[in-house]
Amino acid sequence: MKGYWGRILSIDLSDSTITEITPDEKLYRDYLGGSGIGARLLFDITGPDTDPLGPDNPIIWMTGPFTGTKVPTSGRHQITSRSPLTGIFGESDAGGRFGTTLKRSGWDGLIVRGMSDTPVIIVIKDDKVAIEPAGDLWGKDTFHTDEQMKERFGPSCETSCIGAAGERLVPISCIGHDGANARMSGRCGFGAVMGSKKLKAVAVIGNREPEIADPERLMAQQKKMVPIIVEKTKGIHLLGTAGGTAAAEKMGDLPVQNWRRGNWPDAEKITGQVMADTILKKNYYCASCPIGCGRDVEIADGRWAGVRGAGPEYETLGIMGGSCLVNDMEAITYAADLCNRHGVDTIEAGSAVAMTMECFEHGLLTAEDLDGISAEWGSAEALVALTGKICMGEGAGKLLGLGVAGMTKMIPGSDKFAIHVKGLTLPAHDPRCFSTMAVGYATSNRGACHLTGATYFFEKTAVMPEFGYEKPRPRYTEGGEGIMNFHAQNLMGLMDSLKMCKFTIYGGVNVTEICEWYEAVTGIKTSVKEMALAGERIFNLKRLYNVRLGLSRKEDGLPERILTTPRNDEGTGNYTPVLEPMLDEYYEIRGWDRDGIPKRETVERLGLDQKYF
């Protein structure tokens, strides 16, 4: 099999056993890699009683066939585990260089189970694999840990690691890559899974190129597509994802004041252009990427001095800025830097702060409850102070670190201020602006996720011609939300499995190009239909994982505020999504029953009964 090594490393930290798994070729054909194989492994290894923070919950790093090749934006990997934040299926995609180096060390992926008694790191250098003590690194931040690994194992060493938040099992903690050029596996609380295993870091070193079936075809496709991608994504290159902040506010996409409002003129103060004019030093790229959306920023002096590293992305600015009404670019950058260093999801942290500000406004939380912090709307000081406490898991940070769903259990009467689906808070795209996102958030397998279907792409400028979307869908078109999500979720699942960045869709990439690359890399003949079917299989497997936990239609909801609060603002008018008919349409095309359970014939059609282990 070309494009894969055909072997996955498996490590049990309870007894330090290191084994090699050589899966059947059918696993690779059916689930492709990354997200698909990660989901299949998790499904087969865990059961409904698996404790997310117990030794039986594996944490799985998977690359895809494109990782480590020259396919544009393929420097990515997927982390999969049962989420300690939501209790359900969890996964997180990340860019950077870790995935590429893991693949080049000669492994398709890594499964870690068990628990060590003392802090350890896993070091993978080609076929040499070691579990080493990490007492000296415990307590250190992700930037420092990455530097230490490079010092110890050489500059080409790449690291997947946690900071203090993961060590302290903070439910909204995450995993960092690439040191100060941070690329985070942000969502689902996976920092705590590593922390529960006392696993500080995975360090990989390797420079073996996986064999490609048809390098000339790959090169020809690359020559054709890279200039198109570069041209069409110029805006992302120039201003990063933050370049979209002002436009998002005008359209009503930006969350404002914990999703109460649609417009907020201060959005002009936290744009990609403001970043470029003030703190931006240069941009940076994930491996094999011609776009380079990463922002390397520096705050050398002033109140928020001391930042040098990754600048905030749109999602962070939307939640820590718009949703908290904080209009100070440097303060948001400082808070995001704390999250990157200590390993915390900026979306969850910002949402927890926004909810705290609303609870504070209504007297449900006082300064006394918050270690003396006055959580007024728009307070940059409060944003940074509360974020710092979340990162260290101390004082009020213990409450906010639970995430918004967890906070409701501790603050009576706060349910309506907790904006989440299935325990995962909404990222910075509003279904009252892009109606297809209503079904997307409601049905995403890991909870509210903007990238599982990313249908807002296709209500803005992107198209999916292979699935009948020759032009972007006009906003507020009635009907078809479910069908668009079906196609888009299958497509995004493909990209997460083969490993490509979704921003290439803005660059003109679609399933036709994906098929070309898949054939060139693996030598396996495929078609749009077969690829779409693989995406559908992968999505349904994750759904079945959650069904096995007892989830059904009743969990496919949206926060009351999104469903019932029109914002009467420029950009979105009075629109609120009517979810139930959208779900009916969606379940039907998915082949699920009215409760959202995949029907027997759907499971059989997709070959999901197959046992692989």
Q: Which residues bind ligand SF4 (CB under 6 A)?
A: 73, 95, 285-286, 289, 291-294, 501, 503
Answer for the pair 498, 34: CB distance below 8 angstroms, yes or no: yes
Q: Minimum CB separation from ligand SF4 for residue 313, in Å? A: 9
In b/e form, how buried is each residue of 406-443, taking b as 16+ CB within 10 angstroms?
A: bbbeebeebeebbbbbbbbbbbbbbbbbbbbbbbbbbb
Q: Minimum CB separation from ligand SF4 for residue 103, in Å? A: 15
Answer for the pair 417, 359: CB distance below 8 angstroms, yes or no: yes
Query: What is the Cα–Cα distance from 254 to 431, expressed in whole angstroms?
Result: 10
Q: Minimum CB separation from ligand SF4 for residue 440, in Å? A: 20
Q: Which of 581, 138, 258, 189 is nearest to 424 (CA)?
A: 189
Closest CB to ligand SF4 among 194 and 289?
289
Closest CB to ligand SF4 among 244 and 393?
244
Q: Minimum CB separation from ligand SF4 for residue 507, in Å? A: 9
Beta-carbon count within 10 A of 325 CB: 20
Q: Minimum CB separation from ligand SF4 for residue 322, in Å? A: 21
Q: Which of 498, 490, 587 is nearest to 532 (CA)?
A: 490
Closest CB to ligand SF4 among 148 and 241?
241
Q: Minimum CB separation from ligand SF4 for residue 287, in Å? A: 8
Closest CB to ligand SF4 among 95 and 195?
95
CA angle at 182 for the pair 177 and 186, rounded to the nearest 5°: 70
Closest CB to ligand SF4 among 285 and 545?
285
Closest CB to ligand SF4 among 228 and 364?
228
- Pair of tokens at residue 241: 């994802």
Closest CB to ligand SF4 among 11 and 289?
289
Closest CB to ligand SF4 among 254 and 286?
286
Query: What is the Cα–Cα distance from 73 to 54, expressed in whole angstroms?
Result: 34
Beta-bridge mates of residue 470: none
Q: Minimum CB separation from ligand SF4 for residue 453, in Å? A: 18
Phi and psi angles of residue 22, each rounded to the nearest 5 degrees, phi first: -120, 90
Residue type, 461: T
Q: Minimum CB separation from ligand SF4 for residue 235, in Å? A: 12
Q: Minimum CB separation from ligand SF4 for residue 294, in Å? A: 5
Q: Which of 430, 433, 426, 429 is nearest to 448 (CA)?
A: 426
CA angle at 67 for the pair 189 and 109, rounded to the nearest 5°: 55
Closest CB to ligand SF4 among 119 and 272?
272
Distance of CA 401 to the CA centre of its chain: 18
Distance of CA 100 to the CA centre of its chain: 18
Compute the chain's Rg from CA coordinates: 22
Beta-bridge mates of residue 284: 294
Q: Minimum CB separation from ligand SF4 for residue 320, in Å? A: 19
Closest CB to ligand SF4 among 37 and 291?
291
Closest CB to ligand SF4 among 227 and 566?
227
Sign of CA dihedral 378, 357, 392, 448: negative
Q: Minimum CB separation from ligand SF4 for residue 591, in Å? A: 32
Q: Minimum CB separation from ligand SF4 for residue 549, in Å? A: 31
Closest CB to ligand SF4 among 292 and 480?
292
Query: What is the Cα–Cα distance from 39 to 31, expressed in whole angstroms?
Result: 9
Closest CB to ligand SF4 among 96 and 598?
96
Q: Which of 572, 549, 579, 507 is nearest to 72 (CA)?
A: 507
- Pair of tokens at residue 144: 């420092």
Query: What is the Cα–Cα distance from 516 to 364, expressed in whole angstroms?
Result: 56
- Pair of tokens at residue 591: 């082949």
Q: Minimum CB separation from ligand SF4 for residue 228, in Å? A: 14
Query: What is the Cα–Cα distance from 316 to 488, expressed in whole angstroms?
Result: 24
Answer for the pair 504, 195: CB distance below 8 angstroms, yes or no: no
Helix residue ranges per DSSP H, 252-328:
272-278, 314-316
